[in-house]
Chain A
């Protein structure tokens, strides 16, 4: 309910009437069963996008997503409580960290860079080259408990981790809501399921490219970008083989697709010994399969939102998009000196789609303009994906649309008397104590009547 100017205020909200209103709501909601069900989440992907697959043993619900969002941003999920998932997957950087190599909670450097989480719900395999991580649930265990390198540094600390969750009233409630059939909902399995559920909502497809190709806006991309797209999808540049499809990466699947395709590609970054060698700590698929021809094969990451995710390649060894274009134009990278010296273009395991090409200045500009059309500013600004520990500027605004409706106030009332799930309106619980108090209800009512703080008025 947007209030402009000085709207006539309903007596409904006058001081003194509030307690009566709350009383009525309380009675009404007490009539409902105390055993609340969880709420199935319905994917509403952008036009042209399929529905993601979800594991049978982890159906996605609003409650899991809300819980997973807190967990994703919670530094209690690292051993020394300095890092969370979001430390390396920052929203404003397209859920990467801007570093060539990620740095873990104890300061140890990862051999590879943090991957973008853009559209990770569709990924058939997670990580740069690990064919075994076929679900987000499995993948989540690696940064939590992995030790070579240490990322979140929780190995051996499962008991303390769960104690930290138990010591937080909001988690007690959110876990119980997300896993209503479990007698002790705070468990490692449930924690992982919740984070994976949140990850699956990071869907991004509101780009100029999408608006153009879906027929929503014929002028969403320039003629130059259009011509660049023809280059991108041409047999001359061959980009689309590895960065094709709606996700601009090959290793994706979705509901109704019986084929969970995965592909790993050597793109000629290294050729240390002239026999295709890669640095020992970054041998790609080979590290898992031990098949010699898998040396240096990595997953082609999505090109969507690349603007936010520099530097590029698995080891962050190319600083910017111009460097990436140069790399593929040359058909591989030549390193002339140092321990990694070698002509990557002659790597025997390199994909035969990477043959090199030449572009005129105009073509190169067109190509760059096409790539620019693959960026989605909505993902990096969507408050539903943002850090929930930073109080939303609009108390009681369950839907994060910047205004508080009567329905949202009723949700907050339901939460306060235990009839509704907190997960449905975490924005109403300003104090983070897992409950909505009278004061918090009044703050929500105030938002409804007087509008929310403007985005500029609160710290980001």
Chain B
């Protein structure tokens, strides 16, 4: 009952305020960045009293969303990745690798509710790993040989979501288009890490895998980008963002494993197409990219999400205690 009075009181204050200051004052601030009426939940062009009540409830209650944490793990096969470790039997020739960087961006994280509806995870804006709807996963700690990296690590995506039962997850690998081409020199974390700048393509490395010794690298970002107006990128010939769908995922217990051994499983670690960068830098001329991009869920020919499934990510459930 107390809450009801509070809601009514605030609504009354808003109403009085609107009359007092005049409609023109409100009109100047009533449209959001997408050009929609603020508070118009059902997008019908009008804000009803019910919608105002809903908004006030959300202001009081933080939208009634529940906190959620998605656990990731950086692996090479069954082993957890650590800087400086050697991993055996990688690629078509069963080579040894010593990875020296292991980071990637994800965005547009959604969970699949038991009724099949995709519900967005609203990321906590932590000022470090998560900005707007993009998050950086980082499995290296700057110990040898991960020299170009950061001490800090991050293996989770944290946010809020509407209450419900969820049993699947979707996300996009990479930095979203509108953030990928903003001014890097003044970008906020986690978009301010120069090791992930891909300035020559006016964007970011969506995923960065380096290896020590054999110099194999996987640096994938959007390529073939073009301006439509001065300083406004209109699009990219090869967006190179994989769409990841993991249908059986229990966010409470399961871990999303990103596996370098699987990523490189169809590549010959010890060979490289002549006159191309070592490994794959998303160059359309570099045939070394073909199997790697496919495993990231990207069609190498056009840079769009591949028809076949990605392999890089898989879900691991905890072993039941007997």
Contact = CB atoms under 8 A, between A and B. Distances in A.
Contacts, number: 87
Given A141-B197, A188-B192, A148 B148 contact: no
Given A132-B201, A134-B227, A138-B199, A158 B192 contact: yes
Interface string B215-240: 00001000111110011010001100
A398 interface: no
B202 A156 contact: no
A262 to B, nearest CB: 9
Contact of B149 (A146, A156, A260, A283): A156
B281 to A, nearest CB: 6
Interface residues of B, number: 36
B277 A148 contact: yes
Contacts of B223: 288, 290
B32 interface: no
B227 A132 contact: yes
Interface string A283-297: 100011110000000
Given A134-B231, A155-B148, A283-B285, A192 B276 contact: no
Interface in A262-295: 279-281, 283, 287-290
Contacts of B148: 155-157
A343 to B, nearest CB: 21
22 contacts: A132-B227, A133-B200, A134-B230, A141-B184, A141-B185, A145-B195, A146-B200, A148-B277, A156-B193, A157-B194, A158-B193, A189-B186, A260-B230, A280-B275, A281-B276, A289-B224, A289-B226, A289-B237, A290-B223, A290-B224, A290-B237, A290-B238
Interface in B279-321: 281, 283-285
A314 to B, nearest CB: 15
Contacts of A191: 185
Given A131-B227, A289-B237, A290-B237, A279 B199 contact: no
Contacts of A193: 185
A77 B224 CA distance: 29
Given A145-B194, A155-B195, A260-B230, A287 B283 contact: yes
A163 B274 CA distance: 39
B197 A145 contact: yes
Given A142-B199, A145-B194, 14 more contacts: A131-B227, A132-B200, A134-B230, A145-B197, A145-B199, A148-B277, A155-B194, A156-B147, A156-B195, A157-B194, A189-B185, A280-B276, A288-B223, A290-B237
B69 interface: no
B126 interface: no
Nearest to B147: A156
Contacts of A131: 226-227
Interface string A125-169: 000001111110110011011111000001111100000000000
Nearest to A286: B285
A237 B285 CA distance: 35
B120 interface: no
Contact of B200 (A137, A142, A157): A142
Contacts of A188: 185-186, 192, 194
Chain B CB within 10 Å, residue with most, of A130, A134, A142, A145: A145
B150 interface: yes
A142 B197 CA distance: 9
Given A142-B199, A192-B185, A290-B237, A154 B283 contact: no
Nearest to A282: B275
B230 A137 contact: no
A431 to B, nearest CB: 31
Nearest to A55: B231
CB-based closest 6 A-B pairs: A156-B148, A156-B195, A280-B275, A141-B199, A189-B186, A189-B185
Contact of A158 (B194, B200, B227): B194
B96 interface: no
Contacts of A288: 201, 223-225
Nearest to B142: A156
A interface, size bucket: 35 or more
B51 interface: no
A131 B201 CA distance: 9
Nearest to B284: A290
B183 interface: yes
Contact of B194 (A144, A148, A189): A144
Nearest to A130: B200
Interface string B250-277: 0000000000000000000000001111
Nearest to B201: A132
A144 B199 CA distance: 10
Nearest to B150: A156
Q: Which of B192, B197, B224, B237 gathers the greatest number of chain A CB atoms within 10 Å?
A: B197
Nearest to A192: B185
Contacts of B197: 141, 145, 155
Contacts of B276: 280-281
A154 B194 contact: yes
A148 B192 contact: no
A288 B201 CA distance: 8
B283 to A, nearest CB: 7
Contacts of B194: 141, 144-145, 154-158, 188
Contacts of A147: 219
A451 B31 CA distance: 67
Given A157-B148, A289-B226, A290-B284, A189 B183 contact: yes
Contact of A280 (B150, B195, B285): B285
A315 to B, nearest CB: 13
Nearest to A188: B185
A303 to B, nearest CB: 26
B161 to A, nearest CB: 33
B185 A148 contact: no
A188 B191 CA distance: 13
A18 B280 CA distance: 67
Which of B197, B200, B223: most chain A CB closer than 10 A?
A: B200
Interface in A193-241: 193
Interface in B184-212: 184-186, 192-195, 197, 199-202
Contacts of A146: 199-200
Interface string A242-273: 00000000000000000010000000000000
Nearest to B195: A156
A137 B195 CA distance: 18
A281 to B, nearest CB: 5
A132 B275 contact: no
A118 B233 CA distance: 28
A132 B225 contact: yes
A138 B275 contact: no
Contacts of B150: 156
A191 B192 CA distance: 14
A134 B194 CA distance: 20
A144 B281 CA distance: 18
Contacts of B199: 138, 141-142, 145-146
A187 B197 CA distance: 16
Interface string A16-35: 00000000000000000000
